[in-house]
Amino acid sequence: MQNQHDFLAKTALGLFLAGILGPILLICFGINTGGPYILGIACEFFALLFASLSWSQRISRIVATVVLCLIAVGAGNFILFKTSAKSARDSMQAREAQARLNAEASAAKR
């Protein structure tokens, strides 16, 4: 049983490294169609799965913790990006509305 947990822990570590380095290498070679991102997400998901199956190994606990931290950071960035994009869109719409009002006011004065 210990041998199986050791194999799963090493597989989780390998998938973790493939999920981090694989997309970077594929993008460097010019493949940027979305495939590298899907590959990275799939590898990280399976790394988390295999790490949870062999939780008694130290490598597995480290891999699972790092993957969960990456998920938390990614979710935080996603929320911040959505909030800042909405804020930027609102301020752009306000500037456009002000520019229309200024144009109408200057046309009315003529």
Give the integer Cα–Cα distance in Å for 103 and 110.
Answer: 11
Q: What's the predicted TM-score (pTM) here? A: 0.71
Give the integer Cα–Cα distance in Å for 66 and 58.
Answer: 12
Asked if residue 8 lies in contact with residue 49, where contact means CB atoms within 8 angstroms, the answer is: no
Q: What is the pLDDT of residues 56-86, one digit of tens each?
A: 999 999 999 999 999 999 898 888 888 777 7
Contacts of 70 (CB under 8 A, 6+ apart): 44
Quote the crossing angle between the two packed helices 58-109 and 2-28, to the nearest 10°.
30
Give the integer Cα–Cα distance in Å for 102 and 57.
Answer: 67
